[in-house]
Structure 1
Amino acid sequence: MKKTTLSYHIIRNVVLFCIGLFLVIFYVYYYFTRNTIRDHTNENAIFLADNIVNRIEQVLTSSEKNPELVAKMLESSFLDKDSLISFMKSMLKGDDNGYGAIIAFEPNFFPDKGEYFAPYVFKQGDSVSYNILGDKNYEYFYMDWYQIPKILNAPYWSEPYFDEGGGNVLMTTYSVPFYTYKNGVRTFSGIVTIDISLEWLTKIMSEVKILNTGYAFLLSRNGVVIAHPNKDYVMNQSIFTIANENNQPAMRETGRKMIQGQSNFESAGFSSKYKTGTLWINYASLPSSKWSVAVIYPDKEMYASLKEMNIILVVLILVGLSLLSFVIYKIVSKLTAPLKDFAESARLIAAGNFNVKMPQIKTEDEMKDLHNSFSFMQKELGNYMINLKDTTAAKEKIESELRIAKEIQLSMIPHIFPPFPDLPQIDVFAVLKSAKEVGGDLYDFFVIDGNKFCFAIGDVSGKGVPASLFMAVTRTLVRSISDKETSPSVIVETLNKSISQNNDSNMFVTFFLGILDLSNGILKYTNAGHNPPVIIKSNKESVMFEKTKYIPVGLFEDFKYGELSLQLDPGDKIFLYTDGVSEAEDCENNLFGEDALMDAIRMNINASPRELIGKMEEKVSAHVNGFSQSDDITMMTIVYNG
C-alpha cells in the first residue's frame, strides 16, 4: 500500500470539506441568482409588452375620435354632401396618425351621385388629396371594413390589409357605422373610416430590445402576423401556419390563447427558422382592436450572464482551493516537521539505541508534550531493557530448572516398553503428557513377590511444580508401602494417612491402585475418587469399572478405604486414564467426553496397548484441533495374557 503523509490527509480533508462547503454556497448562489435574473427579465418583458400596448392604444384611441365624431355629425345632418370633402380634409390634417379617411354611403344614398358614392381623402406628401371611390371594380360595400361593422352594428378595427384601390399602402381601418332617419326610422346609411398605416407599428415593435436577440411581434385578432423582425412573416403567415410548418403544438396553443384576448407569461420549447430552443413569451391583448402583442426571448440568453458568472466563480474556487492547499501544505509541513525527527528517533530506539538525542522543540504546545513523552519513553525503555536482561536471565534459569525437573519427573515413572520381557502373562503401555513443563499426573507399575503385578494411576490437584512434587511423594510412598503390604485398600489407607499429615497446602490426589495375581487372573483394586477404568473383555465387550464412593487421597487422615476384586480372563485388557482425556476441550469448550472415549475403544478393540493409546491420542487431538489444554493427559493399557 502506498505510503501517505499527515500533510496529505490534512489537506485532503480540509479541501474536501471546502469543496462541499463551496458546492452548497454555489448551489444557493445559483438558485437565488437564477430566480432573480428570471424575475427581473420577466418584469422587464411585462413592462415592454405593457408599454407597447399603451403606445398602440394611445394611437388607436386617438384615431377613433374623428370618425366617431363624423358619424355623429352625419346622423345629426350637420354635414351635407357638398361640404363633406372639405370637412374630411380638415379632419385628416388634424390627425397625425391618420393616412386616409372615407365616408362610404349605402348604394344610391344620393340618387344624383349614382350607386357608388364614397369620398376618400388621403395624405400625399404635405397635402391632402381625395378620390371618389366606388365602381364595378371597387364595390366597397362588399368589403370587410364595410360589411363587418354594418352587421355588428358597432365600430370595428379591420384586419390589416393592402388597400389597392385607396391608399395603396398596408393599413388597418377603423370603421364606424352611421345612421340617418328616413320617414322617422333610424336607418343604416354608411360607414365612416380612418386608415392607420402600419409603418408606425413596425417602428414601435422594432424599438423593443430585450437581451441580445429578444424581440416583439404583433398579431391580429385572427392570429395574422402584423409586425415581426422576420419580414417574410408579415401579412404572409399567421402564428398557426408557422406552428404547423414547424410542428409546434405549444406555439399553436399559445396563439390560441393570444387571439382569445388572454394575457399571460409562459415558457415553451419553440423551434422555427427564426428562433429555436426554450423561449419565454409574455403576451397581452389590445382592448380596442383585439390584437395581441408578444415579447419573446431565449431562455439561454436570459441565463447567459449567469453562465459567465458561474465559470468565473468556478475558476476562482479552483484557484482558491489551490492557494488554500498550498498554504495548508506549508503550514502543516512546518508544524509536523519534528514528527519526522521523532519517527527517526523512534526507529533508532527500537533498534536498541536508547541514548539517541531527541529533536529540540521550542514551542510550548502539543509538540512539546510529544517531546516530553518520547524522552520519558526513552528513559523508561532503557530502564526496562536493563531489568529485562535480569528477568530474562532469571527466566532462563527457571526454565532450565523446569526442564531438569521434567526430566527427573519422567525418569521416576516407567518409560521403557515392554517393561517385563520375561513375564509373558502381562503387557503394558503408558503415556504421560504434561500441560505445563511439569505436571501432577502419575502412573506406575511394578511386580511384587514375583507373581503379583501392581499398577497405579493418579491425578494430583493443582498444576506445575507443587503438583509434580506431590506426585513424586505419592509414587515414593506407594512403592515403600507395597514392600510390606499387598492389599490395595491397606496400601491406599496407609498412603492417605502419610499424605494427610502436615498437608498444609490441602492438596489431594485421585488414585486408582490395582494388584493382579498373574497366576490366576484375580484383580484386587481400590479406587480413591479416580475415573473408573475400562475393561475390555476377550469377547470384545467393553465396560467401565464399577464406580466407588471413596474420596481422593490426602483429604481425611482416618478415612477407611475398601477394595473390590475382579476375575480377568486371558486376553482381557484394562484401559486407565486421567480426566485430562475425557475433559479435553475444543475452542468452543466442548468436552471430549466418556461416550467418545468408549467409541474410540470399541473402534480399536483388537489393537495392542501401544496401538490403542496411539489411536486414543489421535481422537483427542482431532477433537481439540490444536486448542491449548490446561490439564495433563495420562493413559495406560494393560493386557492380561494368562
Structure 2
Amino acid sequence: MRIPIRWKLLLFIGVPVLLAYLAVGVTEFIVLRRDAMQIMQKEVQLLAQLQAEAFNMQLSEAQKITNAYAAFFQKQPDLELDEIHDLLRTILDSDDLIAGVAVAYEPFQSYDPSLRITAPYMWLQDGEYKLKDIGLEAYDYLDREWYTVARDPGRPGWTEPYYGPVFEGLLCTYSVPFFRDGRIRGVVTIDLDLVPLQETIPDAGIDDEAFAVFSRSGAIISHPDESLILTKTVDDLIKDYDDPQFKKLRQNIADATPGSARVTGFPMPYPHWMVLTPIQATGWTMSVSVPESSVMAPVYMRIRSLMMILGGGLVVILVAIFVVGSILSRPVTNLASAVSRMRAGDLSAQAENISNRDELGDLARGFNDMTTQLQKQIDQLALETAAREAVESEIRVGRKIQVSLLPQDFPAFPQHPEIGLYAINSAAKEVAGDFFDFFMVNGKLIVLIADVSGKGVPAALFMAVSRTILRNLANTGATPDEILTAANTLLVADNNAGLFVTLILLQYDPKSGHFSMANGGHPPPFKITTDGAVEPYGESTGTVIGMIPDQKWGKIEGHLKPGESLVLYTDGVSEAGGKGKQMLGIDGTQALIEPHSSEDPEQLCNSIVSYVHEYEDGNQGDDITVLVLKHDTPSG
C-alpha cells in the first residue's frame, strides 16, 4: 500500500515526537519521583542512621572491651581459675548491655590441661553474680554457633540473636578468638541484652508501627509487637503478604546493604516506602517506613500540569509537519524512482531532471555522484580481487613446489635399519626459508639443515638455489668443509640481495656411527647419549654462507654410539618467544629436549615443534625446522 509522504512525515516525525514527549513525561516523573524519594530517604535514613549509630556506638564499645580482654588472655596464657573469674567479673561490670561473659577453651588447652573442655560463664541476676562452668556440665559447646563463629574463621564474629539458655532474655553473642603459638586456644564471648537497645527506638522519634530491625538471616529482632521477635522472619513475611517488592528487599537484608521499595502489608497495611539502613557493627538492618501518599502527592500534581503543556505543543507540531510534507512531496518523486531502480539491482541508476537549488536538489545530485563512484569502486575492487587471487594462487603453488623439494618419505632408508631419521619443516608464512635434506652418497648419509635469512618468497627462492648447489657439491664426494667453502663461492658471486644462509652439513657413516660435520654460523646441535643426557655438540666451524667471499670452513669429527642421537634445529626453535616471554635460547632448547630424550626421532620432532607452537601462543614468528638423526640398533 502506497502512503503519501506527508502522512509518512506525520508518522515518522509525529510519532517520535509523541514518544519523545512521553519520554519527557516519564523522565520528569522519574526525576521528580527520584528527587522526592531522595528527600524522603535522606530524612528517613538520617533518622534511621542516627538510631543505627546509637546501636553501633553501644555495640562497638562492647566489641572493644571484648577485643581488649581477648588480647589479655592471649598475652597471659597461664592465668589461674580465680584470676579468670576476676576478669569475667570485670568485663561484666564494664558495660550495662553485657548480660553474661564467658571464656571457652579448645580441648585440653585450658588452665587445667587435664580437662577436655571448660568454659567458665558469669552473669548478673537480681544484682548477684552467678557463675557456672558450662563446659563441665555435659554441655559440649564446640559445635555451638557462639563458639564456631569465632573459632572457624579465626576472627571475631556475631551470632544470630537468640533467647538465652541460662536466663531469659533476648541476647546476641559477640565472640573473639585468642591464640597460643599461632593456634586458636579459645574464645572470649559476651552476651548482650538487646531489650534496652529496642527501648531506645521510640525515644528517637520513629513511629511505633514504622520500624523493625532484622538480623542478617532475616529474623525480626526488634519490633513494637514483641510476638514477632524471633518468631517471624523475612521469608515468613514474604509468604504472609505475597509482595514482590518486599521480596526484593530480602537480599539487601541478607547483605546488610541500604535499600528501599514500595511495599504493602508490613509494617503498614497500606502502600508505603520502606527504607533499609545497615547497622554496621553486627550486619543487622534497620527498616523505617513512610506512607506513599505523603511522598508522591506533589509528584502527581506536577506531572498532570506537564502533560497538559506537552499535549498542546504536540498538536501544533503535527499541523506544521502536515503542511511542510505537502510542500516537499513533489521534488522527492524523481529521487524515489532512482532509489527504486537501485534497489532492483541497477547500481548505475541516476535521479533525472534535477533542477532544484535547495537541500533536496543537493541530495539528489549527491545520490547521482554516489552511484557513479560506487560503480567505479566495484570495478576497481573486482580488478584488485582478481589480481590478489592470482598472486595467492602462485604462492600456494610455490609452497607445494617447495615442500616437494624436501624429503617426504619416512622411514627414509628402510634398507638401513641402523639409520633413525625424521624431520619437520613448519613455515611461518606461505613459503619458508628453512629447509632440510638427506641422501646417500657412496654409502654415506649426507644430512643438511639450513636457515635462509629473511622470510617469504625471497628467502624461499634463495633456499631453492642453496639446496641445489649444496646437493650437487655433496654428490661429488667432497667433505663437509669443502662443500661449504665451494657453496659460499658460488652463492656470493650473484648475491645482489644480500641474503645468506646458516647451515649444518653432516657426512655420516651409518655402519660405524662416525661423522664429519661443518657448521656455517648455525645454532649448535644437541647430542643425546644412551643414558638420556642432552648436551650441545660442537661449535660453529665458520661464518654464514653467501655473504663474505674467500672464506673457508673447518669440520668436526664425531661419533654416534648405538642408541645416541643428534638433534639439529633452526633458530625458529631457539629464538621462539611468546608475548612477554623470553626467547628459549640454547639453554631453553636443551631444557625442552631433556624430558623427551627417550623418544624416537619422529616423536621427538613432534614434541619440539608442538612445544614451540604452544610457547609462542600460536603466533609463529619464524620458520621452524627440526631434524633428528639416531644411530639405531637393528631389531632381530
TM-score normalised by length of structure 1: 0.48
Larger Rg belongs to: 1
TM-score normalised by length of structure 2: 0.49
